[in-house]
Structure 1
Amino acid sequence: MTPMYIIVGVLIVLLLLGFFTVKQQSAVIIERFGKFNSIRHSGLQIKIPLVDRKAGVVNLRIQQLDVLIETKTKDNVFVKLKVSIQFKVIQDRVEDAFYKLEYPHDQITSYVFDVVRAEVPKLILDDVFERKDNIAVAVKRELNEAMTTYGYDIINTLITDIDPDIQVKNAMNRINAADREKVAAEYEAEASRIRIVAKAKAEAESKRLQGQGIADQRREIAQGLVESVDVLNKVGINSQEASALIVVTQHYDTLQSVGADSRSNLILLPNAPSAASDMLTNMVASFAASSKIKEMSASEVISKRSDDVSSRNYNDSHQGYDSALEDE
């Protein structure tokens, strides 16, 4: 009975060895006597013990490979590019992916190097930054054509980093800083110009309004003086006396307005209490002198006219006398 138990035990062990599980998003390659037999997907699977074996496991999930490449641009600038490739095994091509390509990462890296070093030297450094998506599309197109044969699908390619030489980066930073300073200077100059123009316009408008205000003020003062003189004339005060009275009134009004301001440093000369009466006396004397000068001027004119008439009469009489002597 012991050999029988041994045989049964061995069979049970072999049977248990025939069961195996496959993880999600994975595929197992089964070989029978060293030859491909089948592909087993996720779940509980069974194989013939001692006949079938698991040759390998193929990952069906999306994978990413980062490739760092150093190359030269058209303007002779060395630059490092980091290219990220996202790929996966085509589910219907698991056999090709397992048997046709032993090191897929190395194969993909080689194609990426080849494409990038063919595309970047056609561009200057600025265009590399601007057209990095075009480079990524070219890499994806080339990889898809090559890797589909081996059962791989290229999902996406990304240029994730562009790193020029450190001296070139410093030069680019200085250029950008200079450009920004230039733009800032232009904006500051334009703002200064706008402020100057606005200030000039404001000053011109202020002067215009100030002149208009002075003109209106003088017009109203003149109108008020005319009305004041007319009123004073109606009560028997002549024009000279009215003018003197108005001047005295304005003098005292000025003194009152100056005294009302405690911070004023204006001094009126003369500012004695008798200043107004002296001013009035001087004005009256001036008006009287002016009237006398006018009267004297009129008398001189009349006298001169009389002398001219006498002179003409004298000349006429002598001419008549001379004519009478000639007749005799």
Structure 2
Amino acid sequence: MEPVIIVLIILVVLVFIALIKTIQVIPQASAAIVERFGRYTRTLNAGLNIVVPFIDTIRNRIDLREQVVPFPPQPVITQDNLVVNIDTVIYYQVTDARAATYEVASYIQAIEQLTVTTLRNIIGGMDLERTLTSREEINAALRGVLDEATGKWGIRVNRVELKAIEPPTSIQDSMEKQMRADRDKRAAILTAEGTRQAAILTAEGEKQSQILRAEGEAKAAALRAEGEAQAVRTVFEAIHAGDPDQKLLSYQYLQMLPKIAEGDANKLWIVPSEIGDALKGLSGAMGNFGSLGGGGNSGGATLPAQNKGPATERREKPSID
């Protein structure tokens, strides 16, 4: 019985191994290359697949998802003979597992070398300034060349990015100095523009202030003139209403003479010709007042007797106008 059990155990093990070899489970977004006696037979897609055990073999399993491969910095010479180091990143995807397996030995290494040579050809036709400012142009040109060359390998290059473009140290120092000078220039321009704008605003403010001050003074002068005119009209109306005689007006004029003489600029007095007659009338009035104060009729004018009847009094209305 023991040899039979051993044979059964061996058969079970062989059957188990055959089942494992027969059933192949391929993950999603993957593919497997099957060879029979060293020759390509078919490509296994995602899911459960059956192969002939001990005859069919899995040559390669390939990831069909988009992959990212960063490449180390590569020294590249520009058109103006300057060496720059450029870091690149390639986004690619395997579209044909059979071609990626049999058309090229290592598609990763092939893509890297093709990227370096293509990048040198593109940068060699540009100067440093254009290289630093034309990333999109370089990316598009590099992607076009790589996509065309890798198509027969079953590879599609989706995107190419330049991570960094590093010029020589001396060029970096010169660029930094130039950028610093440009920043200082822009700062000086902004400062001058701000000062100019502030001066303009200050001048506009002073102009507006002077205009408002002049308008205020003009309104104040107009109000003062209007007030003085109203005062003159009031005095004129009061004089006409009081009906004063020439003697009272002469007395008022004499009272105003000291005030007229107060000003420093008053060096010349203009005396009207009628002032002599007014002063004569005033002196006569003052003489009458003196006679009344001395008492009696001796040596002075006598008071007129009081009339029994109504007396006719004649007054001369002074000419004011």
Mapped partners of 1:239, 1:189: distance in 2? 72
Contact 2:31 2:64 survives alignment (8 Å): yes
1:28 Cα offset (Å): 1.9
- Partner in structure 1 of residue 54 of structure 2: 50
Q: Kindly provide the CA deviation profile for residues 30-51 of structure 1, in whole angstroms up to 9, marking residues without a partner as x.
A: 2222222222222333333332
Q: 1:318 matched to which residue of 2? A: none
Between 18-27 and 213-222, report the one with greater CA deviation. Answer: 213-222
Q: 1:243 to 1:200 in 2, by over 3 A?
A: farther
The residue type paired with residue 52 of structure 2 is I
- 1:299-314 matches, within 5 Å, as none
Closer, same or farther: CA 280–78 of 1 in aligned 2, 3 Å: same
Cα distance, 1:116 vs. partner?
A: 1.0
Q: Scaled by the length of structure 2, what TM-score is found? A: 0.67
Indicate the residue corresponding to 1:172 in structure 2. 175
Change (3 A) 1:202 1:44: closer
- For 1:154, the equivalent position in structure 2 comes to 157
**101-110 or 226-235, which moves further after superposition?**
226-235
Task: Note the alpha carbon deviations across 1:165-205, whole angstroms, 9 max, x for none.
Answer: 34433432332332233223223222322322332233234
Amino acid at match of 2:138: I
Map 1:1-328 onto structure 2 (within 5 A). 2-3=3-4, 4-5=7-8, 8-9=11-12, 11-19=14-22, 20-67=24-71, 68-90=73-95, 93-229=96-232, 231-232=234-235, 234=239, 236=244, 238=249, 241=252, 280=259, 291=271
Paired AA for residue 61 in structure 1: R
Structure 1 22/225 Cα, relative in aligned 2: closer, same or farther at 3 Å?
Answer: closer
Aligned-partner Cα distance in 1 for 2:104–2:249: 129
Q: What are the ranges of 5 or more consecutive residues in structure 1 without an aligned counterpart? A: 248-278, 297-328
> Which AA in structure 2 matches 1:48?
V
CA contact (8 A) 2:32 2:97 kept: no
Instruction: Check conservation: 2:87, 2:164, Cα contact below 8 A.
Output: yes
Please give the alpha-carbon distance, in whole angstroms, between the structure 2 residues aligned to 1:156 and 1:61: 14
AA aligned opposite 1:21:
V
| TM-fit CA distance, 1:127 | 2.2
AA aligned opposite 1:99: Y
- Counterpart CA distance in 1 for 2:126 and 2:35 is 50
Q: Which piece of structure 1 moves more, 123-132 or 79-88?
A: 123-132
Taking the aligned partners of 1:15 and 1:219, their CA distance within structure 2 comes to: 122
Quote how far apart the aligned CAs of 1:282 are. Answer: 5.8
RMSD: 3.6
- How many equivalent pairs are there? 260
- Offset, 1:58: 1.8
Letter in 2 for 1:73: T
Per-residue deviation, 1:64: 1.4
1:269-306 Cα distance to aligned partner (Å, 9 max, x none)? xxxxxxxxxx65965xx99986499989xxxxxxxxxx
- One-letter amino acid of the counterpart of residue 26, structure 1: S
Post-superposition CA distance 1:111-162 (Å, at most 9, x none)? 1111111111322333223321121111111112211112212122222322
Q: What SS does the corresponding residue of 1:116 show, helix, strand or coil? A: helix
Give the Cα–Cα distance (whole angstroms) in 1 for the partners of residues 13 and 229 of structure 2. 143
The answer to whether the Cα contact below 8 Å between 1:229 and 1:239 also exists between their aligned partners in 2 is no
The one-letter amino acid paired with 1:179 is D
- Distance in 1 separating the partners of 2:219 and 2:11: 131
- Contact 1:28–1:56 (Cα < 8 Å) also in 2: yes
* Cα drift, residue 65 of structure 1: 1.3
C-alpha separation in 2, matches of 1:65 and 1:243: 117
Query: How far apart are 1:239 and its partner, in Å?
Result: 8.7
CA distance in 2, matches of 1:23, 1:115: 35
Whole-angstrom CA distance in 2 between matches of 1:240 and 1:210: 43
> Once the two structures are superposed, what CA deviation does each residue of 1:201-239 show, in whole Å capped at 9, x if it has no partner?
332343344344444544544554455455446155649
Q: Cα–Cα, structure 1 residues 71 and 290, in superposed 2: closer, same or farther, change >3 Å?
A: same
State the secondary structure of the residue aligned to 2:65: coil
Letter in 2 for 1:121: G
